[in-house]
Each structure stands twice: as C-alpha cells, then as structure tokens.
C-alpha cells in the first residue's frame, strides 16, 4: 500500500489534538449548564428536552445535587473557540489535499463491487470474529463508509452547529443558526454529534490495535504505510 503523505499525517495529528482540546473544554462548558433544549431559547425556567445526571458548576442550575463543581467556564470557552478554528483550518487543508492528491478516491470512496450486500456482510462477519486484517491490507467497505461519514458528515455538522452558537458569526450569517432550528437546537445537535465522534474514536482505536498497533502507528508517524 502507498505511503501516507506528510500532509495526511500532519493534519491527522493536528485535528486529533484539536478534537481532544475541544472535548475536554466542551465537557467543562456542558457542566456549567447540563440541560439541553430545542429551539431558539432555553433556560432553567423552561422545560428541558433532556438533562444529564451530573452536578453543575453554577448554583443557579437545578440538578438535584446539593453542591456545585468548580466553574471552569471562562478558559474553557476561550480554548474551545481557538481549537475549533484550528480544526476548521486544518480540516480545510486536509480536504483540499485529499481531492487534489486522490487520497479520497484511492482510500475512502468504495468501489462499486464493495457496496454489494454480500460484501458488507462478509466484512461484518470478520469484525464479529475479530479477524486481524492482513498486513498492509486496504480499508474494507465499512471502514471507508465510516471515514466518509466522519470526514464529510460528522465533522462538518460539528463545525456548522458550533458556528451556529457563535453570536458574532450568526450576526453576519443568520441562516447558519436558522437552518438548524435555533441556538438551543444547535447546542443539542452539537452534543449528539460529539457523542458520535467519541464513539468513532473508541472504535478507531480498537481497530488500530486489532490491525497491529505498531505498524499502524508507524504508518501515521513516519509514513511507512497508508492509513488514516
């Protein structure tokens, strides 16, 4: 299999760092108000769509707990914002390179035969039996479809809903928040997209160990083999 380009490797790790920074700071932001709503507005005086069973870092938020956590909302929002823009710029570079260099065509877009029901079932059976793929084997159809969903679905959805929660951005581009149903709807969608990305990350790490941790890590550090 062809060696991973330096652009793919660099953007992979930069986006990984950005995601972890956004995940940690996002948790801190959610702790300040662990209630979610739908529509444009929502507060402690309106019914919540759902509520996380955790204490808050603000005493004004009813959670059922008799204490509040330390408030880390200030620095968390600042770092979350900075990491978000770093993710946008890095992701843009990755997508442009992927199209120009043929990375998506060679490694992510499934071939016509791979989309058959039989081919998908065979791949699922191998995952259930925890069969280790051959050294240097290309991505199977489930991996290709999953990576496409993340690159062109979940990550853009996370960016879009993040921008929809920015008053400075929506002041100039109000359609960004209108299309998702309001500020609180954007926040709720943002939360579920993040959960989906965390689940992907767990599965991604599990597949790295299944395929061979040393070889896959070598592929994404020194570029000995193509990988994501």
What's the whole-model pTM score? 0.83
For residue 171, count other CB atoms closer than 10 A to its CB.
8
C-alpha atoms less than 13 angstroms from C-alpha of 120 in its C-beta half-sphere: 10
Q: Are 219 and 226 in contact (CB under 8 A)?
A: yes
- Spans of all domains in the chain: 6-219
pLDDT, tens digit only, all 228 positions of the chain: 445 678 888 898 999 999 999 999 999 999 999 999 999 999 999 999 999 999 999 989 988 898 899 998 889 999 999 999 999 999 999 999 988 888 888 878 877 666 665 655 665 555 544 445 555 545 667 778 888 899 999 999 999 999 999 999 999 999 999 999 999 999 999 999 999 999 999 988 887 777 676 777 776 776 654 444
CATH number for the domain whose boundaries are 6-219: 1.20.950.20
């Amino acid at each position: 299999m062809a060696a991973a380009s330096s652009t793919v490797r660099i953007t992979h790790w930069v986006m990984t760092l950005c995601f972890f920074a956004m995940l940690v700071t996002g948790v801190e932001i959610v702790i300040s108000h662990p209630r979610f709503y739908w529509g444009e507005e929502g507060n402690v005086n309106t019914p919540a769509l759902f509520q996380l069973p955790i204490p808050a870092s603000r005493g004004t938020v009813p959670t059922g707990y008799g204490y509040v956590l330390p408030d880390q909302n200030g620095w968390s929002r600042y770092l979350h914002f900075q990491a978000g823009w770093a993710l946008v710029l890095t992701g843009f570079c990755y997508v442009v390179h992927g199209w120009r260099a043929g990375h998506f065509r060679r490694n992510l877009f499934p071939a016509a035969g791979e989309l058959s029901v039989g081919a998908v079932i065979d791949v699922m059976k191998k995952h259930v039996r925890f069969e280790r793929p051959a050294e240097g084997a290309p991505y199977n159809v489930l991996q290709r479809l999953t990576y496409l969903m993340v690159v062109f679905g979940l990550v853009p959805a996370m960016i879009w809903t993040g921008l929809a929660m920015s008053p400075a951005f929506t002041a100039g581009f109000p359609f960004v928040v209108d299309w998702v149903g309001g500020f609180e709807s954007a926040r709720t969608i943002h939360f579920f997209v993040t959960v989906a990305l965390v689940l992907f990350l767990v599965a991604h790490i599990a597949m790295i160990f299944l395929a061979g941790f040393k070889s896959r890590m070598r592929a994404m550090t020194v570029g000995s083999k193509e990988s994501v």
